[in-house]
Chains A and B, each alone.
Chain A
Amino acid sequence: MSTLTAAAIEAPKIEYGELAPMLLVFGAAIIGVLVEAFTPRYLRKSIQMPITILSMVGALALTIWQGAQGVRNAAAMGAVAVDGPSLFIWGAILLLAIVSVLLINDDDQFVAQAAAVPGSAEEDQAISEGGAHTEIYPLVLFAVGGMMLFPASNDLLIMFVALEVMSLPLYLLCGLARRRRLLSQEAAMKYFLLGAFSSAFFLYGTALLYGFAGSVDLSAIDKALATVGGQDTLLYMGAATLGVGLLFKIGAAPFQAWKPDVYQGSPTPITALMASGTLIAAFGALLRVFWVALGNLDTQWTPVLWGVAILTMIVGAVLAITQTDIKRMLAYSSIAHTGFLLTAVVATGKEAQNVNALSGILFYLVTYGFATVGAFAVVTMIRDAGGEAGHLSRWAGLGKRSPALAGIFALFLLAFAGIPLTSGFFGKYAVFAPAVAAGGVGLVIVGVVTSAMAAFFYVRVIVLMFFSDPAPEGPTIALPSMGTAAVVTLAAAATVVLGVFPQPVLDLAHSAAQSLFVR
């Protein structure tokens, strides 16, 4: 070793310019921590909020600018890939994160003092003082930064670090719900334990692939694959464990167990952030790993992904039918949607198909992200004595009490169900088409059948809202704060516009996917 250490080290060069969006977000997060440290309590929120929003908007602007510049290369010694998909995903994540932050902003969602034991005197005192953890803003920023780095990382180590940077703040945020705190804390614990478990798998896979290729650089692994040596076992085991870790993050069956619990338990704005941002980021990473690093291995992993996709769709659709809690139901539906997305991942093979599949996935992610954020935003507004009215029975007859809200929620549900003239329909089409083109007709048929099943429980909610009579002393419709109202309207608008005139976004996704992933 000593001989190796003696070798001269030349200083690496880092393209700060290309990484600017991420750096901006992280920098803002750090500044947020400083704000927490040095400003008096009553000022914090009014400082944190602008910092968070502005930094994200700035990052978004930078991303768009880079996209316009056509930046396409691997920055920081090939560790971070700033290519079309990355930029698109960054844009999507930032947009959705901004939207979610608007939700996070109305602070009666979050616990007054996390350290206070639920129901204890100190908690009451903290609430009466109107205390709130403004730390959530830096935490969210860190999480978003991680989400941006995760799909952009071109090297398994960076990917692992990004994974943790993304997850750790989310673990904490999950436990900060103001009401139903036991539930929330449990969600945090389960999410943490399972998440750490999965990342351990990811890491071991990384180790094995490193052992196989002698490098954790995705392209290097690809090269090594081109000349498969004797160490195939390492390769296969590594790919398998790595895949387990990634599938865990996107919540594909049989690794979906954490999703319902976490979605249900954590504060709804955070759920919205996770359901949109994390899914997008994780999918980006999944695609990068499977298409860039393990591209030459597709004959091996395609069948597996077939199975996983089918299982995921079925599990998501079937279990969702039995749910009685709106957030759990949405969680299972997100599992089902993960399955739909996976159908397109299977569509590898000819380059063109890759491009179509990739752009389809990107488009789907955007449409789904907006719809789901909007849906959760609506959920935050249906209040009960004990917080949000989670149980479905409480939603009965909502259509009569406030037709507008119920209508919008129905719109989102229809989008999930993939009814034409909503964004969801084109999303489904965009992922199913390449799958069919790649000969995955069977897969698509399963997808279609399951989405019919899924439609059943979406429709059931609509029936509940519109066709059944309102429950006596039903939940109150909270007067939406500016932020929430904005989120709902924005999401609804996006759902309709993308459902009627998706072309611009499709073009964007296509041009982003055109270059595929930089290698």
Chain B
Amino acid sequence: MPWLSILMGVPVVGALAVAAVPKGSDKLAKQLTLGVSLVVLVLTLAMAAQFDRSGARYQFSEVHDWIPSFGVHYAVAVDGIALVLIALAVVLVPIVVLASWHDADRPEAKRSVKTYFALILVLEAMMIGVFAATDVFLFYVFFEAMLIPMYFMIGSYGGAQRSYAAVKFLLYSLFGGLLMLVAVIALYAIAAKGTFLQPELLGAIKDPTTQKWLFLGFFIAFAVKAPVWPFHTWLPDAAAQAPAGAAVLLVGVLDKVGTYGMLRFCLELFPDAAKFFTPLILTLSVIGIVYGAIVAIGQTDMKRLIAYTSISHFGFITMGVFAMSADAGAGATLYMVNHGFSTGALFLLAGFLINRRGSQYIADYGGVQKVAPVLAGTFLVAGLSSLSLPGLSTFVSEFLVLIGTFENYVVPAVIALSGMVLAAVYILWMYQRMMGGPVQESVKALPDLNLREKFVVAPLIALLVVFGFFPKPLLDVVNPAVHQTLTTVHAPQFTPAIPVTAEKKGAGQ
């Protein structure tokens, strides 16, 4: 049965249903959204259960002609990488829905609540689609179309600077996307295969210079999307202005599309170019790691701070992607998932704090752990995961990335290590400033997490811990795909022994 189509169809139908909900009955809309997203989650798990990790690379694939005269197909399928990322998305969505239960309905700015949730569902469908697409053109379509719902979510439900942030976000991504469009067209024209199916295009471009140009076309788009260092400036604004839920989806999932794209298209379609540009990209990502971390330390606005931390983390991911080694790749993939969870948790908790206190400035907080211990505790856990404390899932991925990088490129890996140290600084210092210390007047009456919020945070924390100690299921799914990716790049092969050791190390702490 066409799992992926169903996965995309359900949220769309749900979105229409939500949009059709009569005015005034916002509660119904929210419940409906939550229900739909849970259904999608269940379906995804059902699908994942059937995923044969030792089977063909692409599974559940469907291919239909869409626009024959352009050689465009509606072609979807998942390999391990895509699967875990889809899983990430569908897990995050219900959590976000639950988290942003009251975000939309702020009476002063009378926005339509149901629209917000409908947008979330549309976005979910597109996120699934973009990860599942095996047709370059289809991927591009989702890649661009995703911007619109996110644009509206930021623009009409965000903070004070929302419209500026939204426009910046849209224009940056659009610009990158349009460059990618040129590359897509050129790819089609030069490959002259008359099709956009990614598997058929593998190795279609022989001429190295052409490869380099096309690679750049794709890479810049992805670099803007997953903010690699010079292209990152839109992220802090967008993430800071977006409502917490949207921020989670933005940083947690949307940006992964960029790194995913690098892995899936930049590497596989243009291996030679990829090799050629690897040093440059590693440099950029190392810069990103350090820069992001340092700037994060200096932030006074917690959302911006978290945004900068993720810039640093994306540095790790890109480094892993381009380290061209099996476990670096696996680590990067894993990192995408875990980062989604940890940053998601951070953003959500920050959101809760902001909703309570009405300010996102770190200086306005202090001593929260006394008044709201649970909140503070979860915040600490999330923070620790963000600095990849051993025992939490992020550590595994970061460790794998570093190891993998060591194998090929020592210097960047070493410099990247400093990122971990800096991470400790910004996270702990933030925690200390906000949660520790004397209780501020303003936070005296700060209520602790309520039941809904507990339900929001619990699964995230659980996932972080579980995968921290037992990443094997993820790795088993991811590794084959990464291997095949690397084989297409003709990179040196490695036996997938490391992940187990990694797990041991993880357990050993």
Q: Do chains A and B touch in the complex (CB under 8 A)?
A: yes
Q: Which residues of A contact B (CB under 8 A)?
A: 359, 399-400, 403, 414, 417-421, 425-426, 428-430, 432-433, 436-437, 441, 444-445, 448-449, 451-452, 455-456, 459-460, 463, 466-468, 501-503, 506-507, 510
* Chain B 177-192 near chain A by CB (<8 Å), digits 1 or 0: 0110110011011000
B162-A467 in contact (CB<8A): yes
**Contact in complex: A502, B174 (CB < 8 Å):** no
Q: Which of B63-71, B279-287, B303-311, B413-421 contacts A (4 or more CB under 8 A)?
A: B63-71
For B178, list chain A residues within 8 Å (CB): 418, 448-449, 451-452
Q: CB-CB < 8 A to A433: which residues of B? A: 70, 185, 188-189
In the docked arrangement, what's the CA distance between A460 and B164, Å?
10
- A414–B152 Cα distance when bound, in Å, is 13
| Beta-carbon contact of B175 and A432 below 8 Å | no
Q: Given A419-B145, A420-B140, do A436 and B185 touch, yes or no (CB 8 Å)?
A: yes
Question: In the bound complex, do residue A452 and residue B174 qualify as a contact, i.e. CB atoms below 8 Å apart?
Answer: yes
Write the nearest CB–CB distance from A329 to chain B, whole angstroms.
16
Q: Let me know if A466 and B185 touch, CB within 8 A.
A: no
> How many Å lie between the Cα of A420 and that of B126 in the bound state?
12
Residues of the A chain whose Cβ atoms lie less than 8 Å from the Cβ of B68: 503
Q: Is the CB of B141 within 8 A of A441?
A: no
**Docked pose: A287 CA to B196 CA in angstroms:** 30
A463 in contact with B166 (CB, 8 Å):
yes
**Residue B39, interface by CB 8 Å:** no
How long is the Cα–Cα vector from A361 to B151 in the complex, in angstroms? 30
Chain A residue with minimal CB distance to B154? A467
Chain B residues with CB below 8 A from A399, complex form: 156
Chain B residue contacts of A502, Cβ below 8 A: 67
Please tell me if the beta carbons of A459 and B69 are within 8 angstroms of each other in the complex: no
Contact A403 B145 (CB under 8 A): no
Least distance between B451 CB and chain A CB atoms (Å): 34
B156–A466 CB distance below 8 A: yes
Q: In the assembled complex, which residues on chain B have CB atoms less than 8 Å from the CB atom of A432?
A: 181-182, 185
Q: How long is the Cα–Cα vector from A426 to B55 in the complex, in angstroms?
A: 36
Give A436 to B191 CA distance when docked, in angstroms.
13
Residue ID in chain B nearest A467 by CB atoms: B163
B163 touches A463 (CB 8 A): yes
A463 to B70, CA, bound (A): 33
Interface readout for B151-179 with A: 1 if CB under 8 Å, 0 if not?
A: 11001100000110011001100110011
**Interchain pairs with CB closer than 8 A, number:** 91
The chain A residue with its CB closest to the CB of B115 is A403
Any chain A CB within 8 A of the CB of B148? yes
* Residue ranges of B at the interface with A (Cβ–Cβ < 8 Å): 66-70, 110, 112, 140-142, 144-145, 147-148, 151-152, 155-156, 162-163, 166-167, 170-171, 174-175, 178-179, 181-182, 185-186, 188-189
Q: Is the CB of A463 within 8 A of B167?
A: yes
Chain A: minimal CB distance from B361 (Å)? 23
Residues of B within 8 A of A445 (CB): 179, 182
Prevailing SS type, chain A contact patch = helix
A452 CA to B181 CA in the complex, in Å?
A: 12
Distance of A171 Cα from B68 Cα, bound (Å) = 43
Q: From B143, which residue of chain A is reached at the shortest CB distance?
A: A420
Residues of B within 8 A of A436 (CB): 182, 185-186, 189
CB < 8 Å: which of A417, A444, A503 contacts B185?
Answer: A444
- Asked if residues A420 and B175 are in contact (CB atoms below 8 Å), the reply is no
User: Are B170 and A420 interface neighbours, CB within 8 A?
Assistant: no
Contact with B144, one of A420, A426, A503 (Cβ below 8 angstroms) = A420
Q: Which of A399, A432, A448, A510 has the most CB of B within 10 A?
A: A448
Choice from A419, A448, A455, A503 contacting B182 with Cβ under 8 Å:
A448
- A421–B141 CB distance below 8 A: yes
Which one of B67, B140, B170, B188 contacts A459 once the chains associate, using CB atoms below 8 Å?
B170
B387 → A minimal CB distance (Å): 36
- The reply to whether A468 and B70 form a contact with Cβ atoms under 8 Å apart is no
Residues of chain A within 8 A (CB-CB) of B186 are: 436, 441
Please indicate which of the listed interface residues A359, A429, A451 has the most CB atoms of chain B within 10 Å of its own CB.
Answer: A429
C-alpha spacing A495/B70, complex, angstroms:
19
What are the residues of chain B within 8 A of A459 when measuring CB–CB?
Answer: 151, 167, 170-171
B182 near A441 (CB under 8 angstroms)? Answer: yes
A309 to chain B, nearest CB (A): 15
Nearest chain A residue, comparing its CB with the CB of B192 = A437
B155 & A429 in contact (Cβ 8 Å cutoff): no
Q: List 13 A-B contacts (CB under 8 A).
A: A399-B156, A403-B112, A419-B144, A420-B142, A420-B145, A436-B186, A436-B189, A459-B167, A459-B170, A463-B155, A503-B67, A503-B69, A506-B69
Distance of A417 Cα from B147 Cα, bound (Å): 13
A509 and chain B: residue at smallest CB distance: B69
A368 CB to nearest chain B CB (Å):
18
Chain B residues with CB below 8 A from A437, complex form: 189
Q: Which residues of A contact B182 (CB under 8 A)?
A: 432, 436, 441, 444-445, 448
**Shortest Cβ distance from A393 into chain B, in angstroms?**
15
B299 → A minimal CB distance (Å): 25
Residues of B within 8 A of A466 (CB): 152, 155-156
Closest 10 CB pairs of A and B: A467-B163, A420-B141, A448-B178, A420-B144, A452-B175, A437-B189, A420-B145, A467-B155, A436-B185, A506-B69
What residue of chain A has the Cβ atom nearest to residue B144's Cβ?
A420
Give chain B residues whose Cβ lies under 8 Å from the Cβ of A463: 155, 163, 166-167
Q: How far is the CA of A229 from the CA of B188 in the complex (A)?
A: 42
A418 to B171, CA, bound (A): 13
Q: Which of B145, B151, B152, B166 contacts A421 (CB under 8 A)? A: B145
Complex CA distance for A501 and B65, rounded to whole angstroms: 11
| CB nearest neighbor in A for B65 | A503
Question: How distant is A438 from chain B, measured CB to nearest CB, in Å?
Answer: 9
CA distance A32 to B68 in the complex (A): 45
State A429–B112 Cα separation when bound (angstroms): 35
Instruction: Quote the shortest CB–CB distance from B122 to chain A (angstroms).
Output: 11
Distance in angstroms from A415 CB to nearest chain B CB is: 12
**Using Cβ atoms and an 8 Å threshold, which residues of chain B touch A400?**
110
Since A429-B70, A448-B182 are in contact, a sample of 10 more A-B pairs with Cβ atoms closer than 8 Å, ordered by chain A residue number, is A419-B148, A420-B142, A433-B189, A441-B182, A444-B185, A448-B178, A449-B178, A459-B151, A467-B163, A467-B166
Q: Distance in Å from the Cβ of B108 to the closest Cβ of chain A?
A: 11
Shortest A504–chain B CB gap in Å is: 10
B171 touches A455 (CB 8 A): yes
Bound Cα distance A399, B68 (Å): 37
Contacts of B67 in A (CB 8 A): 426, 502-503, 506
- In the bound complex, what is the Cα–Cα distance between A181 and B147 (angstroms)? 42
User: Which A residues are in CB contact (< 8 Å) with B112?
Assistant: 403
Q: Which residue of B lies closest to A503 (CB)?
A: B67
Contacts of B110 in A (CB 8 A): 400
> For B179, what are the chain A residues with a Cβ–Cβ distance below 8 Å?
445, 448
How far apart sit A466 and B182, CA to CA, in the bound complex (Å)? 31
Residues of B within 8 A of A359 (CB): 69
- Pair B163/A414 contact, Cβ less than 8 Å: no
* Cβ contacts under 8 Å, B141 to chain A: 420-421, 425
A446 to B174, CA, bound (A): 15
Closest Cβ of chain A: how far from B400's Cβ, in Å?
Answer: 35
Cα–Cα, bound, A432→B162 (Å): 33
The residues of A that contact B156 with a CB separation of less than 8 Å are 399, 466-467
Contact of A414 among B148, B171, B185 (CB under 8 A): B148
Partner of B181 from A430, A448, A506, A510 at Cβ < 8 Å? A448
Tell me the nearest residue of chain B to A506, going by C-beta. Answer: B69
Question: Which B residues are CB-close (under 8 A) to A506?
Answer: 67, 69-70
- Cβ B69 vs Cβ A510 within 8 A: yes
Tell me how far the C-beta of B301 lies from the nearest C-beta in chain A, rounded to whole angstroms. 21
Bound-state Cα–Cα, A413 to B155, Å:
16
Nearest CB on B from A317, distance (A): 12
Bound form: Cα–Cα A418–B180 in Å: 14
Residue of B nearest to A451 (CB): B178
| Min CB gap A463→B, angstroms | 5
Contact A452 B69 (CB under 8 A): no
CA–CA, A433 and B166, complex, Å = 30
